[in-house]
Chain A
Amino acid sequence: MKKLALSFSVIIVFTFYTLLYQKNGAANAVTIAPPASLALATPATPVATTASSPPSPPPPPANKPTKAATPTPTPAQNKSANTTPSSNTTPSAPATAPTPPSNNSPYRDGTFTGASADAYYGNVKVAATIQNGRLTDVQFLDHPGGRATSDYINSQAMPYLIQEAIQAQSANIDGVSGATDTSLAFVQSLSSALTQAKK
């Protein structure tokens, strides 16, 4: 009787093991790209993903956006607490005392802080340094990446993401999508700094 029970339990355990193994095998086959931790470590080698990826993407996991719940400060919160709406039109005072003009340049010497200009997702603020009437340096005092030190890339596996090196394309297109906002804000902030430097 003992022998019978033992052999039955062995059969049952074996059956379970076989089922479980098949399930795991199937799950592994769907994983198409290396986890992010691995992918990040490899430098920009194009991954041949088009061939191996399924025609339609796997449905996103059930535990949807809650994943990125790490409370990091938003750019909106920690950017420019001292920036008022009027600062877009009212430039702040020069950071260093301007020296008397020494030549026929339209600008006084000194360092001038531009108004904070909105780049839609964050502010851009520059300081322009004028020496001998010429613009010698532009420093970024605030830009949308200012909060970045508190940020990090989640090392948790992201098996769906694909990596590749970017490559310039030549093709007929109807339009271009790209960020132009920051460069515009840069021009706005710099021109405001230069306005202050005007004699």
Chain B
Amino acid sequence: MKDSRLVMGMPITVEIVDRQALPSDIDDIFDYFHYVDELFSTYKEDSEISRLNRGELSLGSASRDVQIIFALAEQTKQATQGYFDIWHGDHYDPSGLVKGWAIFKANQLLAQKGFRNFRVDAGGDMHLSGANSHGVEWRIGIRNPLHPDQIVKVVKLKNCGIATSGTYLRGQHIYDPHQRQKELSDIVSLTVIGPNVYEADRFATAAFAMGGEGISFIEHLSGFEGYQIDGHGRATLTSGFNNYVSHQ
């Protein structure tokens, strides 16, 4: 059973392979994403995050999930040398963390319902549990940021998360500070595979912000693999990434 809907401004897909799945199980997951959107949307005037930013709500009296996200944000900021920060100069915007966290929580909800084989995908970041409809590892394509209708890699995943940070915009020129005239490649996409989608998403976001150094940050992160694409169509892989790649 599979359904896709537009929530939080992005397509969300819930796919449950187990036969006992009911439409109401899928509805519960979309209800959960709507609940998260009500709390954290910076586009909604009455969301808790908007009220926090206007000073109408203090963190101490915010709901538990909001407090959890703020704690996770602080932890993530420290784990990424400040590259991940929900403080945007004059307001908080935790949406970069909320997305991966919400997918991970949705995943846990399905596991609590007793399902074993399912996939929750929000805007291209997803968590893969158990096996796909053919009874084998989930086969996930990595989109070509230079030609979004193509995929450039297929990875086989089971009980882990995958997330991609990137941009389809060109003109992200990076120059070598030691040789000003020499332009280095611009990074357009960074895909991270990790133990779960929350971890993969937050480190993909932070590492993408590091530019060319992001992929070596992922390399040094135990339990994570990465696939980086630059504006010239060159990919840089971490040492263990090929263990996930499907060659058929």
Instruction: Give A contacts to B, CB under 8 Å.
Output: 32-33, 36, 39-40, 43-44, 49-50, 53, 55-61, 64-65, 67-72, 74-77, 79-81, 83-85, 88-89, 118-122, 124, 140, 143-145, 148-149, 151-154, 158, 160-169, 171-184, 186, 188
Contacts and interface: CB of A to CB of B under 8 A. Distances in A.
B166 A77 contact: no
B124 interface: yes
A92 B15 CA distance: 41
B57 interface: no
A178 B143 CA distance: 5
Interface in B186-233: 186, 189, 191, 205, 208-213, 215-217, 219-222, 229, 232-233
A83 to B, nearest CB: 7
A118 to B, nearest CB: 6
Contacts of B210: 68, 72, 151
Contact of A176 (B96, B99, B143, B236): B143
A151 B82 CA distance: 15
A153 B174 CA distance: 8
Nearest to B126: A175
Interface of B: 9-11, 13, 15, 42-43, 45, 50, 53-54, 79-91, 93, 95-96, 99, 119, 121, 123-126, 132-133, 138-148, 150-154, 162-169, 171-178, 184-186, 189, 191, 205, 208-213, 215-217, 219-222, 229, 232-243, 246, 248
Contacts of A122: 209
A120 B141 contact: no
Contact of A152 (B89, B167, B212): B212
Q: Which 10 A-B pairs have the closest CB atoms?
A: A178-B143, A145-B172, A153-B212, A179-B166, A57-B240, A151-B211, A57-B239, A160-B239, A76-B85, A166-B152
A145 B177 CA distance: 17
Contacts of B90: 81, 83-84
Nearest to B13: A175
Contacts of A69: 81
Given A33-B239, A145-B172, A163-B237, 20 more contacts: A49-B237, A58-B239, A67-B217, A72-B210, A120-B95, A121-B96, A121-B205, A124-B169, A151-B174, A158-B219, A161-B236, A161-B238, A161-B239, A166-B146, A166-B152, A168-B147, A169-B141, A177-B126, A179-B143, A179-B167
